[in-house]
Amino acid sequence: MTGARIREIRTQRGLTVAQLAEAAGVSTGLISQVERGRTDPSLETLRKIAKVLQLPLFSLFQEQDTKAVSVIRENNRMLVASPVGGITYSRISPGHGRLEMLKGHLPPGGYSAVEPWSHPSEECVLVLEGRLIVEVSGVQHDLSVGDSCYFHSSLPHRYLNPGDTPVDFVIAVTPPSY
């Protein structure tokens, strides 16, 4: 499903597999395997592809349903996991529109990215369970249950779990971006 969507958007943009791979800094073989559904790309690879295609990351999984009211059942959420850092995101918004809502989960010692990264949005995170460090422009903000943090996502940022218990949180991103 994701690979087919990447292929669809790539061809709409008039890009070859080689052009997309070069611009994303990944191998042509990887793009080909992803598009054919033979491998699942990492979260970092998806971010690179989305950036080249100038799309929000989760739009690679986007449903084309634009109902005025959408109900997203917990067992039908889109799930993205990163093999690096251990973070998982499930999309709790419908996948279209100007607001993206994600539920994040970080295991003890986990992180959202090796290095802080930025994208053109605004972000607000709310801690549901555990302790979360929100690092923005090199400054660490320590959040506990019920605490929230708002920032411009154009500033380099990432999420860290310094504790020995998992952390669950909700993120609102507007507009959705890579």
Of 70, 87, 90, nearest in space to 78 by CA: 90
How far apart, in Å, are the Cα atoms of 149 and each of 28, 40, 94, 126, 162? 39, 31, 23, 7, 17
What percent of the chain lies above the pLDDT cut of 90?
42
Q: Locate 61 and state its tokens.
A: 């999984």
pLDDT in tens, 90-140: 989 887 778 889 999 999 999 999 999 898 899 999 999 999 999 999 999
The pLDDT-based confidence of 81 (bands split at 50, 70, 90) is confident
Per-residue pLDDT averaged across 20-30, rounded?
90
pLDDT for residue 45 is more than 70:
yes
Rg of the Cα atoms in the chain? 16
The full set of domains in the chain, from first to last, is 2-55 (1.10.260.40), 74-174 (2.60.120.10)
Per-residue pLDDT averaged across 165-173, rounded?
97
Q: Report the helix count and the strand count for the chain, using DSSP H and E.
A: 4, 9
Which pLDDT belongs to residue 93? 86
Which pLDDT belongs to residue 167? 98
Per-residue pLDDT averaged across 9-23, rounded?
88
* HSE of 163, CA atoms in CB hemisphere, 13 A: 17
User: To which residue do tokens 């003890």 refer?
Assistant: 108
